[in-house]
Amino acid sequence: MNSPELQRGVFLFLLAVVTAAFLLVLAPFSGAVLWGVALAILFTPLYKRLLRKMPKRRNLAALATLAICLVIVIIPLSMVTVSLVQEISVVTQKIRSGEISFVRYFQQIVAALPQWLLNLLDRFGLGNMEALLGRLSQGAAQTSQMIATQAVNIGQNTFEFLVSFAVMLYLLYFLLRDGTELSKTVREALPMARPHTHYLLNKFTTVIRATIKGNVAVAVVQGALGGIAFWFLDVQGALLWAVLMAFLSLLPAVGAALIWLPVALYFLATGAIWQGVFLIGFGVVVIGLVDNVLRPVLVGKDTQMPDYIVLMSTIGGMALFGVNGFVIGPVIAALFMASWDLFASSNKEQDEPPA
């Protein structure tokens, strides 16, 4: 009854139950834990550099790194979020008052279409403009209602956000200070061969650092450039469109073009030729160049994943996990590829005859 196999089986079962219960306890703060770990991985090199300048003062080095993280990342992001909420409220009021009318914009585009194109739309069953206008009007009303609801939800969830934010900062401090010891503990606890554990954990760290450093940098630059172009062209809600372009820039290849291209086509259809040509040229040459130059350098070089894997894992991750998915998706894809690579290499070593 007290055989070593039975004792080990009971212990492993208890270990699995306790681990699952602990993960369940952490589930309400999963986003805070994810971003605490991600920022710790991103800012650990800075912490180590500060620690070399102030040896044996780990607490001070961790606090200094946390302060730099607040100044560089968190405070600017909070300011943009507050401005975005205000911008959403203004845009929602303009949509409700009719100052911003997507139906009117669509009517202007239809009025500018040549007759041959209208005949072609009729041939494909798309010529019933009244039905299209009705659908567009209904969609615009639903969109404005959804935006207003989300703005209200943001205000109602302020307390929950502040709690998660405090947990993230608290966790980030200890991960910066004790991250090396924790990493060593994890390496020794995992029941895997030491080289495999080392390789997978390094892959995990590299992908998180590259994804955040690369994707966020590309998104911020593309969103900022798109917002500046919209502000220059006097497009209403430039900040809102800039944030949307930054968010969509997390998707490789397509990205910000989903926002600026329809606006450019609207300019061309309504006779604003130079605005449309300028926006297309600016989007293709400047905004597109940022994606084509920065993303391979900052993301693909470190993750060593094909662009289509990055695209599919990013979209799938965001579909499953929301905004956090743009980090979780590529990490899962990278660990999947690394695990199968290790499996294939181990099988190859076993199949090779001894020398």
Q: Domain residue spans in the chain?
A: 30-187, 190-345
pLDDT higher than 80, residue 297 = no
Question: What pLDDT sits at residue 334?
Answer: 80
125 versus 66: which is more confidently predicted?
66
In a 13 Å sphere around the CA of 55, the CA atoms on its Cβ side amount to 1
Average pLDDT of the residues in 156-165: 70
CA nearest to 43, candidates 6, 73, 3, 76: 73
Asked if 331 and 207 count as a contact pair (C-beta separation under 8 A), the reply is yes
Average pLDDT, the chain: 75
Q: Could you give the CA distance from residue 189 to residue 197 in angstroms, rounded to a whole number?
A: 10
Question: What pLDDT sits at residue 254?
Answer: 66
Q: How confident is the model at residue 325 (pLDDT cuts 50, 70, 90)?
A: confident
Average pLDDT of the residues in 330-347: 79
Question: What pLDDT sits at residue 178?
Answer: 85
Each residue of 32-72: pLDDT tens digit? 888 888 888 888 888 888 888 888 788 888 888 888 888 88
Q: How confident is the model at residue 137 (pLDDT cuts 50, 70, 90)?
A: low
pLDDT higher than 60, residue 150 = no
Question: What pLDDT sits at residue 352?
Answer: 58
Q: Could you give the CA distance from residue 223 to residue 240 in angstroms, rounded to a whole number?
A: 10
- Length of the chain, in residues: 355
Question: What pLDDT sits at residue 247?
Answer: 78
Question: What pLDDT sits at residue 156?
Answer: 52
Average pLDDT of the residues in 211-217: 75
pLDDT higher than 60, residue 270 = yes
* 92 residue type, one letter: T
Question: What pLDDT sits at residue 252?
Answer: 61
Identify how many contiguous H helices and E strands the chain contains and give both numbers: 17, 0
Each residue of 238-267: pLDDT tens digit? 777 888 888 777 766 667 787 888 888 878
Question: What pLDDT sits at residue 71?
Answer: 83
Each residue of 7-16: pLDDT tens digit? 777 888 888 8
Q: What is the DSSP string of 305-323?
A: --HHHHHHHHHHHHHHHGG
Question: What pLDDT sits at residue 15?
Answer: 84
Question: What pLDDT sits at residue 112?
Answer: 65
Q: How confident is the model at residue 279 (pLDDT cuts 50, 70, 90)?
A: confident
pLDDT higher than 70, residue 29 = yes
Q: Could you give the CA distance from residue 79 to residue 234 in angstroms, rounded to a whole number?
A: 23
| Segment (H or E) for 32 | helix 30-53
Structure tokens at 228: 């500046």
pLDDT higher than 70, residue 130 = no
Question: What pLDDT sits at residue 132?
Answer: 57
User: How much of the chain is in helix, strand and coil states, percent to nearest 5?
Assistant: 85, 0, 15
pLDDT higher than 60, residue 146 = no
Each residue of 185-209: pLDDT tens digit? 877 777 777 777 777 787 778 777 7
Proportion of the chain above pLDDT 90, given as a percent: 0
Which of 58-72, 237-251, 277-291, 313-327 is most confident? 58-72
CA nearest to 117, candidates 277, 265, 278: 265
Question: What pLDDT sits at residue 225?
Answer: 87
